[in-house]
Structure 1
Amino acid sequence: MIRRMQAADIPAGMVLKEAAGWNQTEQDWANLLALEPEGCWVEEHQGEVVASTTAVCYGRELAWIGMVLVRPDFRRRGLGRGLVEHGLAWLEQRGVRQVKLDATENGLPLYEKLGFHQEGTIERWGGAKPRGMCVYGVHELELGSIAALDREAVGVDRSRLLEKLIKAFPGQCAWEPKEGFVLGRPGSEAYFLGPCSASDAETAGFLILQLTLRAAAKVFYWDLFPDQPAAAETARQLGFERRRGLIRMALRPETSVSGRPERVFAAAGFEYG
């Protein structure tokens, strides 16, 4: 039975993500529920949550499918497909023009059957805390300015997401007015860096270095696009290495979202885009 996810289901969601070896925390689940309380679903079997999926909308321009998880002993029964189809039907009713997701190699055949097309790749890089001194002065956080930088880069309004991340993880931000920003948040396995938008690689590298030095973590994850070579080179210079890759997919490739991809130095996470 598919039903809406509730806050009480977060522990079950953690069991699902632990089985998959993902990096999300209980706070990440809470953020998704707060952003789209009607866009988070679970499959329940005999009173137990055995699968999940989420959909986050950025206006009617774009929606992001994420957290497609199935308990290992319930896989290959069509539960993941059923949840994604349920989500797509809900998004269709809302009139969302484009739907995207980041697919693993195992999930790729399913999403292609559902009409998604490969758009590119996204890579997760990892690294240890760089050595150095934090010399960047922390400015007062202004959501409006950060949201404007983000929208220019990605082409859609993600201010609700940014506000939620900033409030949930206070102080986890480095910002250069009019030039760029990076947000961060703790994960169950590593501290996650992103999203990050910047006018150039030097600014992005400086902001990310500043945030890593401030964060109380030793291991970091950074999701970037390999076809944005400045991002990969910046990560390499900071000591990061490629860990894994996923396939970015779009349901309607003819429906474009205009942005400035050369300014995107880190994605917001596989569950957010």
Structure 2
Amino acid sequence: MTGCEPFTPDDIPGFLELAADEGWISGYWEFEFLLRSFPQGCFVWREAGEALGYLTSVKYGKSGWIGNLLVRPEARRRGVGRALMERSVSVLLKHGVETVWLTASEEGAGIYRKLGFAVIDSVNRWTGCAAANLSRSPDLLDLESVRAVDRVGWGDRRESLLEVTCARGRLHTSSGGFICCQEWDDGLQIGPWGCLIQSQAAQLMDQVLVQGEQRVFLDVPGGNFTANELLLQRGFAVKGSALLMYLGHHPLYQPGSIFALASMGSMG
């Protein structure tokens, strides 16, 4: 058999091994969430029983996010990625999605442009050194207030993503924002991080981080100039960049209130 098949839990280890070879930051918990939230949008391309390509997607309200498009090196430039993308977009639109999001490298953006995606912003990978602030207890998850801030930036309700990411990290809130610090094997991720009152952004960052030598990383919209300036002041540096692209209805996107994405490119 050759073609697109459902992504199953048995496929997770194979993807994570391939993703590690590519230097991607991804974890088993992400796929548990994706397969629980939108299993019909997660695919594997198989030939003779072997998984050659992977793609996941998830739906939030009228928005969808495509992530984890990864094809084995020996199967690239054979149309596998395009076939997975076409299938994913078709499923998302069938389920009522009006705007589809993804991030792409400059080199890989061509396949998405051919499918009708347009660039709306860039996303920069910032890294630095610090440590988690364990002296202050995390706040209880108030999903409604977190959702309200997040919705201003992305223009849609993303409760399921916010709940899973904030629950696995240390969440701190203010009157006009929130910040979450998630632990990974190779460092600390800052995100999701949203703030409507930009003067509170530094205060929120100080609630989750203190001086230290642990690796810290976060993905930040290029259009959030306050975030960029704050990170430079704290000694962070840009280590990579991707394009933020969308297909369909022009989103109500306000990058000035998005200080860090909730995931490292896979879920928004």
TM-score, structure 2 normalization = 0.90
Task: Say which SS state the counterpart of residue 83 (structure 1) adopts.
Answer: helix
Q: What one-letter code is carried by the residue in structure 1 that aligns with 2:100?
A: V
Aligned 1:125-164 pairs, distance under 5 A: 125-129=126-130, 138-164=138-164
Residue in 2 that maps onto 1:165: 165
Gaps of 5+ in 1: none
Tell me the equivalent position of 2:176: 179
Corresponding residue number in structure 1 for 2:75? 74
Q: 1:201 to 1:136 in 2, by over 3 A?
A: farther
1:16 and 2:18 matched: yes
Deviations 1:101-122 (A, max 9, x none): 1111221111111111122211
How much does 1:67 deviate? Answer: 0.5
Please list, as runs of the form range in 1=range in 2, the aligned pairs for 1:247-258 lying within 5 A after superposition. 247-252=243-248, 255-258=249-252
Aligned-residue offset at 1:47: 2.2
Q: Which residue of 2 aligns with 1:40?
A: 42
Q: Distance in 1 between matches of 2:201 and 2:191?
A: 11
Name the residue aligned to 1:203.
200
- In structure 2, what residue type is equivalent to 1:199? L
Matched, 1:240 2:241: no
In the comparison of the two structures, how many residue pairs are matched? 265
In 1, Cα distance between equivalents of 2:243 and 2:8: 29
Change (3 A) 1:188 1:43: farther
SS at match of 1:219: strand
Partner-residue secondary structure (3-state), 1:218? strand
Residues 12-49 of structure 1: CA deviation (Å, up to 9, x unaligned) = 11022112210111122222222212211111222222
Distance 1:113 1:174, change over 3 A: same
SS in 2 for 1:242: strand
- Which aligned segments of 4 or more residues in structure 1 are displaced greater than 6 angstroms? none
Q: CA deviation at 1:137?
A: 5.7
Q: Which amino acid aligns with 1:227?
A: G
Q: Is the 8 A contact 2:43 2:55 kept in 1?
A: yes
* Structure 2: distance between partners of 1:3 and 1:172: 36
Match of 1:271 in 2: 266
1:128-178 C-alpha deviation (Å, 9 max, x unpaired): 1169x77756433222221122113321100011112233x1x521222x3
Distance in 1 (alpha carbons) for counterparts of 2:44 and 2:135: 45
- Give, in whole Å, the separation in 1 of the partners of 2:185 and 2:26: 6
| Correspondent of 1:191 among 178, 188, 191 | 188
Counterpart code for 1:172: R
The residue number in structure 2 matching 1:114 is 115
Letter in 1 for 2:110: P
Letter in 2 for 1:99: V
Identity of aligned residues (%): 31
What secondary structure, in the 3-state scheme, does the structure 2 residue paired with 1:38 have?
helix
Counterpart in the other structure of 1:102: 103
Letter in 1 for 2:172: A
1:50-84 deviation digits (Å, cap 9, x = unpaired): 21111111112x11111010111211111111101
Structure with more strand by fraction = 2
User: Counterpart in 2 of 1:56?
Assistant: 58
State the alpha-carbon separation in 2 of the partners of residues 217 and 158 from structure 1.
Answer: 33
Shift of 1:100: 1.6
CA RMSD of aligned residues (A): 2.2
Structure 2 distance, partners of 1:226, 1:261, is 8
Judge conservation of contact 1:122–1:226 (CA < 8 Å) in 2.
yes
**Structure 1 contact 127–241 (Cα < 8 Å) conserved:** yes
Cα distance in 2 between the residues matched to 1:86 and 1:59:
20
Displacement, 1:217?
Answer: 8.1
Which residue identity does 1:44 align to in structure 2?
R
SS in 2 for 1:30: helix
The AA in structure 2 aligned to 1:257 is P
